[in-house]
Amino acid sequence: MQKKRVVVAGMGFGGLRASKALAESNFELIMIDRHNFHLFQPLLYQVATAGLEEEAIAYPLRGLTRKWPNSTFLLSEILGVDLIGKTVQTDTGPISYDYLVVATGSRTNFFNMKSVETHAFDLKRLSQAEDIRNHILLMFEYASREKNPERRAALLTFVIVGGGPTGVEFSGALRELIVFVFSRDYPTIAVSETRIILVEAANTLLAAMPEHLRLYALQKLRSMGVEVMLEGRVVGATAESVELHGGTVIPSRTLLWSAGVAASDLAGRIDGVERAAAGRIVVQPDLSLKEHPEVFVVGDMACFIANGAPLPMMAPVASQQGEYAAGMILAREQGKTLPPFHYQDKGSMATIGRSSAVAVAAGMTFRGYIAWLAWLLLHLYYLIGFRNRLVVMMNWTYAYWFQERQVRLITSKKRRADKTLG
């Protein structure tokens, strides 16, 4: 008898976890992704700030899956899903399924501000992290020879939008890169000439954390020299400036956007589904679609209501949902049922800088060195591949003891920096 086919669309945290759980089953497993690697997104900002090389936070999917029986990886772009015909449309042709796990993640949400989308960097893909690193290095190269004080100031001003973990971590890492490394690489540029401005629309950073940790993060960033603008909102941008609500204009050649995410474009190309805010697809308590119980949506694409609010778009949620969806598929084939999905919140954390972080876990809160050490160990644990763990640990150790960043390579000069500076 022909084996039933499970298609996993997207190999991020949710798709990878679902695939692992199904790898030893009696299904034909087909995994599809536009990239041939799994990306550990929580460390993307360290690639962007010259702390890690790209290969250290990514792992080849074929290397991960080659020993899984009855499984096939397909490098392809997913164009849509035909729920009635039970096929996934890809740029290499349609793929039929008996069960489908949709896990294509999210994209940056610019809230329909076209000027911001045009001129801002975001941090969702590996290539974007490299672009940001190139751009930051080029800003200092250009500033080191710029004689006009206004142009020089704009080159050395970096605006980061979004006071969540990404914005906080990027701000701290960039400040340390400037203070500990660029101050020696570019002796003609004083640290005091540089500005890092973190803009947050709410009245606090890290809104999901307890108040005393939010206050600690705010005070720590400001003590490092980061300008934190709370209750500030970016409404526009050009190649040479950032405009805030109220008319304030900040001359800057660098805008990093980390203020929001939305479901991936695929969510808008699936007909006959209910959508919620940010384009997320509403799912049933078992993560399936209401009219199509053979289709499961997990991770950032899924809108799952818990305690009156959608679960956050975070890697731990995606991982747990991917594993649950696989369990549901196996249970159905065995004629069993499972209780509704329940997210186990194991805590959250964010690093601020050298020997400094905030963390919430098991009902307890941590800050400072202990939280920072926990952050390091946890991220090393969840990285895929012994080599990656070793390389990251060596880079972190070297940076800690010698206050140095080794990956200061300008690998391209064809990005926004050249367009804006001529």
Residue 416 and residue 301: Cα distance in Å, rounded? 30
Low-confidence residues in the chain, pLDDT < 70: 1, 414-422
182: number of Cβ within 10 Å: 24
- Options 3.40.228.10, 3.40.640.10, 3.40.50.970, 3.50.50.100; CATH for 114-259+347-421 is 3.50.50.100
| Boundaries of every domain in the chain | 5-34+76-108+261-333, 114-259+347-421
Whole-model pTM: value is 0.94
Nearest to 38 by CA among 179, 325, 18: 18
Give yes or no for a contact between 12 and 302, defined as CB atoms under 8 angstroms apart: no
The question of whether 169 is a catalytic residue gets the answer yes
Nearest to 19 by CA among 338, 322, 382, 381: 322
Strands 281-282 and 195-200: unpaired
Residue 223 and residue 283: Cα distance in Å, rounded? 44
- Label residue 421 left, alpha or beta by phi (over 0 means left) and psi (-120 to 50 means alpha): alpha
pLDDT at 1: 65
Give yes or no for a contact between 268 and 81, defined as CB atoms under 8 angstroms apart: no
Give yes or no for a contact between 68 and 61, defined as CB atoms under 8 angstroms apart: no
- 5-34+76-108+261-333 and 114-259+347-421 have identical folds: yes
Instruction: Work out the widest C-alpha separation in the chain, in whole angstroms.
Output: 76
394: number of Cβ within 10 Å: 12
pLDDT at 420: 47
pLDDT at 417: 44
Tell me: the pLDDT tens digits for 316-362? 999 999 999 999 999 999 999 999 999 999 999 999 999 999 999 98
Active-site residue identified among 130, 146, 169, 176: 169
Residue 204 and residue 224: Cα distance in Å, rounded? 18
Residues in the chain: 422
pLDDT at 334: 93
Six token digits for residue 322: 């991917």
Residue 57 and residue 388: Cα distance in Å, rounded? 7
Q: Does domain 5-34+76-108+261-333 have CATH number 3.30.450.60?
A: no
pLDDT at 6: 98
Backbone angles phi, psi at 86, to 5 degrees: 55, 55
